Amino acid sequence: MIQALLQFSSSIACNLHKSGSILQHDFFLNLLLKQKCLDLIVMNKNMDILNKERPIGVFDSGIGGLTVVKKISQSFPDENIIYFGDTARVPYGSKSNSTVIEYSIQDARFLMNKGVKVIVAACNTASSIALSAIKKEFNIPVIGMIEPGAKSAAEKTKSGKIGVIGTRATINNKAYSKEIKKINPALDVYEKACPLFVPLAEEGWIKHNAVYQIAEEYLKELRGKKIDTLVLGCTHYPILSEVIQEVIGKDVVLIDSGVASAEAVNKELKVAGIFAERNLPGFQEFYVSDIPIKFKEVAELFFGRKISEVKKIELEELTESI
């Protein structure tokens, strides 16, 4: 701004000097500088408002990230949210690390092209493998699931025995145990991969008999460890939380990383000073890479309300450069 003013004033001074009128020079120069300052202040203020009104971007491999959208929209009803679910390539948990990084950067780039102000990687697999790569690629705040969820679990446990369930990739990378141990090395962490929970949630089988049977098979080992806290280390899992709670035991505290990540979003927006400043409900836009009808059906079941149109994008759009 200062450089622009100096250039502007220099130009005016030169022109007025040629006219030979010093008084006119001083009067008009001051007048024009004041107007230029006012114009620039208004322009900056308008830009600041535009930045604050930009949406929050959320991505996941499928429908699971809607659990995070729900928490964010409850916490910040004024904020606009754009969601992308990569339903054509779900699940990420069975993919190699290099593939997860590639897909996650493509997902984040899609959101960047939509003009988001913050990116939430609402996928524990992406958070455990690709978060640092996403942060290096883009110059806006990027929030994952692992750190907020681990912090919440470490704070909530009383016995010091924490269970973690997640996709194979998240569990194999020991993302949660590393983060929890970083917070408190004395805590005991027991991890269990539960890959079948993802397709069950994607199908909308929230309380199906099959879910109970599979949950019993997965969770009996953790039950035997006498855990008092269980991290739902995949954003699909809160969709099945009623069954998980029933099977693991009512005294075990379930940690929903979506809740914890909403708190992290609050912190980032506050630090950057980019909270939306209007007293109107924010909009929500939903994009998927495949099967929008099924996505809409399960999403409405989960939200308990109708949602706006779900738009399908082609995979080619994800692989295009920004």
How far apart CA 60 and CA 236 sit, in angstroms, is 9
b (16+ CB within 10 A) / e for 123-145:
bbbbbbbbbebbbebbebbbbbb
Is 14 one of the annotated active-site residues of the chain?
A: no
Rounded to a whole number of angstroms, the CA Rg of the chain reads 25
Rounded to whole angstroms, the Cα distance separating 289 from 46 reads 34
Nearest to 253 by CA among 166, 179, 127, 152: 152
H or E stretch covering 256: strand 253-256
**Which residue is catalytic, options 14, 37, 123, 194?**
123
Length of the chain: 322
Is 194 a known active-site residue? no
Q: Give ∠ CA 70-74-80 in degrees, rounded to 5.
A: 80
d(CA 260, CA 239): 16
Tokens representing residue 2 in the block: 């200062």
- Cβ proximity of 126 and 173 under 8 Å: no
Point out the catalytic residue in the list 14, 37, 194, 234.
Answer: 234
Largest CA distance in the chain: 94
Q: Give the catalytic positions in this structure.
A: 123, 234
